[in-house]
């Protein structure tokens, strides 16, 4: 091959080489996209079966759980705060993680937050969050922190005060659980209008605590709830008095004289209840009892 011809051939090769690499790069990108798409589809199918993954882990359940927990965190992190983000695979990822390692407490605790957050903050599925935490409680019955998570979900997300109070109370009875769980259970019960439940919790606290200040506080709450309960019953009787006489009673003595009371009821401090013009009973100004204010 002559010099000029060789030069032209080499020049053509030099020009063609980058084009060839560019074409290969484009082809590789297309292959990668297809591979990622196929892999993603396979993962999505595989993600639906935690038990299958457990069998395939060959005893490395905890390691696999850590991997899937990392995936769940990354999956959530990539989508949180983005408008229109899809969190569809979040629940399956968390289910797989906790199936592989039922003792991975962090997955239940933070996973329930990811699931329950609304809008761009998460899936907005408190029901799935509660299901996840209950799964954690079933696998870790001595982990009181999970009961606080359950109580918070019922209280903050669903405004379900009876179940929230029950969750905190159940957790408070686990050895090592902090005393404040019982206090929260009582307060939530009051907020939900369950005087009987709240009084039972405060009574249990009064009987079991050795802290004199807390014991004093519990007694005050018990007395306040008793007064609240008495007033509710007196208000009903005052309505009955109104039906009979066309006016509300001015005192419990009038109600006794009308045969609606067998005696004159007094509050836990020993003072008679008084009535306002609207027929609603309340504590005497002299009474030391304080009613709860949830």
| Distance in angstroms (rounded) separating the CA atoms of residues 252 and 237 | 10
Within this chain, do residues 63 and 113 fall inside the same structural domain, yes or no? yes
246 and 125 part of one domain:
no
Strand ranges for the chain from DSSP E: 274-275, 281-282
Determine the pLDDT at residue 238. Answer: 95
Q: Which of 228, 273, 285 is nearest to 249 (CA)?
A: 273
Verify that 247 and 292 share a domain, yes or no: yes
What per-residue confidence (pLDDT) applies to 24? 42
Bridge partners, residue 275, by sequence: 281
Query: CA 131, 132, 134, 138 torsion: positive or negative?
Result: positive
Q: Is the dihedral of CA 283, 286, 287, 291 positive or negative?
A: positive
Cβ atoms of 20 and 27 closer than 8 Å:
no
294 within some domain: yes
Return the CATH number at 168: 1.25.40.10
Residue 246 maps to a domain: yes
For 123-163, what is each residue's pLDDT tens digit? 899 999 999 999 999 999 999 999 999 999 999 899 999 99
Collapsing DSSP to helix, strand or coil, 275 comes out as strand
Q: What is the pLDDT of residues 202-249, one digit of tens each?
A: 898 888 888 888 889 889 989 998 998 999 999 999 999 999 999 999
What's the domain count of the chain? 2
**Taking 60 as the threshold, does the pLDDT of residue 30 lie above it?**
no
From 223, 252, 282, give the residue that closes a domain: 223
In a domain, 243, yes or no: yes
In a domain, 16, yes or no: no
Type and span of the H or E element at 65: helix 61-79
Are residue 125 and residue 253 in the same domain, yes or no?
no
Same domain for 276 and 264, yes or no, is yes
Q: What is the mean pLDDT of the chain?
A: 83
Give Cβ neighbours of residue 97 (< 8 Å, ≥ 6 apart): 65, 68, 69, 72, 104, 107, 111
22 pLDDT tier (thresholds 50, 70, 90)? very low
Domain that holds residue 235: 224-294
- Of the pLDDT bands very low, low, confident and very high (cuts 50, 70, 90), residue 62 is confident
Same domain, 90 and 199: yes
CB-based contacts of 276, cutoff 8 Å, min separation 6: 282
| pLDDT for res 268 | 94
In this structure, are 165 and 260 located in the same domain? no
Same domain? For 288 and 156 the reply is: no
103 and 155 share a domain? yes
Written as six digits, the tokens of 151 are: 């109580």
């Amino acid at each position: 091959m002559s010099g000029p011809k060789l030069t032209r051939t080499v020049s053509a090769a030099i020009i063609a080489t980058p084009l060839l690499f560019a074409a290969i790069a484009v082809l590789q990108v297309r292959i990668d996209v297809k591979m990622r798409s196929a892999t993603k589809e396979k993962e999505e199918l595989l993600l639906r079966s935690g038990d299958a993954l457990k069998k395939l882990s060959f005893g490395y359940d905890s390691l696999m759980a850590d991997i899937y927990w990392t995936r769940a965190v990354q999956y959530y992190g990539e989508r949180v705060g983005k408008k229109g983000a899809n969190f569809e695979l979040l629940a399956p990822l968390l289910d797989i993680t906790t199936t592989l390692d039922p003792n991975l407490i962090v997955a239940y605790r933070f996973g329930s937050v990811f699931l329950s957050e609304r809008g761009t903050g998460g899936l907005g599925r408190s029901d799935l969050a509660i299901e996840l935490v209950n799964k954690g409680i079933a696998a870790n019955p001595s982990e009181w922190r999970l009961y606080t998570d359950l109580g918070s979900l019922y209280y903050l997300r669903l405004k379900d005060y009876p179940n929230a109070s029950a969750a905190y109370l159940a957790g408070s009875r686990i050895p090592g659980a902090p005393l404040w769980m019982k206090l929260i259970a009582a307060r939530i019960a009051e907020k939900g209008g369950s005087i009987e439940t709240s009084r039972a919790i405060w009574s249990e606290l009064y009987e079991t605590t050795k802290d004199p200040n807390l014991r004093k506080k519990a007694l005050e709450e018990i007395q306040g709830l008793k007064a609240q309960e008495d007033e509710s019953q007196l208000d009903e009787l005052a309505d009955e008095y109104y039906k009979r006489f066309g006016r509300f009673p001015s005192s419990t003595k009038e109600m006794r004289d009308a045969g609606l009371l067998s005696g004159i009821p007094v509050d836990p401090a020993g003072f008679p209840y008084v009535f306002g013009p609207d027929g609603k009973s309340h504590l005497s100004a002299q009474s030391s009892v304080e009613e709860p204010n949830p």
